[in-house]
């Protein structure tokens, strides 16, 4: 299927692209703060410890999960790539829809998260499909996934 810009095709799977969000920016700010502490203050040990921990957290934060939809075998696979390397597979027959959640302070959006809702999965364990600062990107991902879902149903019959 042509015209998808937020999904990458890999065989029969469609992998959802991940974007920079609030947690990535916070980790980069901590790295910069620790560099400033090392350079401009006399707290060298504290700055080095802050730098090492914030650098490790930044590396972990920039390893987003690999989220792939397979409409032929009707499953969603979420493979964590950080310290907690686990792979979860969800059945798309139990899929209820997407939920878009935006976190704001006043009118300033801090982050937008796209969740997949399933019948047999609790509200706290639902998979995060993607995140970004932009609600528009998340809505485009929803539209592309819905189009792929409709397209896969039409090609089967």
| Complete domains list, the chain, with CATH | 7-18+64-155 (2.30.29), 26-60 (no CATH)
DSSP structural state of residue 127? P
- The burial of 88, by beta-carbon neighbours within 10 Å (0-12 exposed, 13-18 middle, 19 or more buried), is given as middle
The CA R_g of the chain, rounded to the nearest whole Å, is: 19
- Please give the Cα distance from 133 to 108 (Å, whole number): 10
Which residues, in sequence order, are bridge partners of residue 102? 112
Q: Are 15 and 5 in contact (CB under 8 A)?
A: no
- Please give the Cα distance from 140 to 19 (Å, whole number): 13
Neighbours of 41 (CB within 10 A): 10
Share of residues in the chain with pLDDT > 90 (%): 18
| pLDDT confidence of residue 121 | 74
- Please give the Cα distance from 155 to 157 (Å, whole number): 6
| pLDDT confidence of residue 11 | 86
| pLDDT confidence of residue 2 | 61
Could you report the average pLDDT of every consecutive run of 10 residues in the chain (157 residues)? 78 89 86 92 90 86 86 87 81 87 85 87 79 89 87 66
């Amino acid at each position: 299927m042509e015209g998808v810009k937020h999904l990458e095709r890999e065989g029969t799977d469609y992998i959802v692209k991940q974007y920079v969000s609030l947690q990535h920016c916070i980790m980069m700010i901590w790295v910069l703060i620790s560099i400033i502490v090392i350079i401009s203050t006399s707290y060298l040990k504290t700055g080095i410890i802050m730098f090492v921990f914030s650098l490790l957290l930044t590396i972990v934060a920039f390893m987003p999960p690999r989220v792939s939809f397979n409409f032929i075998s009707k499953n969603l696979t979420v493979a964590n790539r950080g310290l907690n390397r686990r792979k979860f597979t969800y059945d798309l027959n139990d899929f209820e829809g997407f939920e878009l959640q935006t976190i704001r302070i006043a009118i300033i959006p801090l982050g937008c998260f796209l969740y997949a809702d399933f019948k047999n999965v609790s509200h706290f364990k639902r998979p995060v499909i993607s995140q970004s600062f932009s609600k528009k990107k998340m809505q485009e991902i929803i539209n592309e996934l819905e189009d792929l879902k409709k397209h896969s149903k039409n090609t089967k019959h």
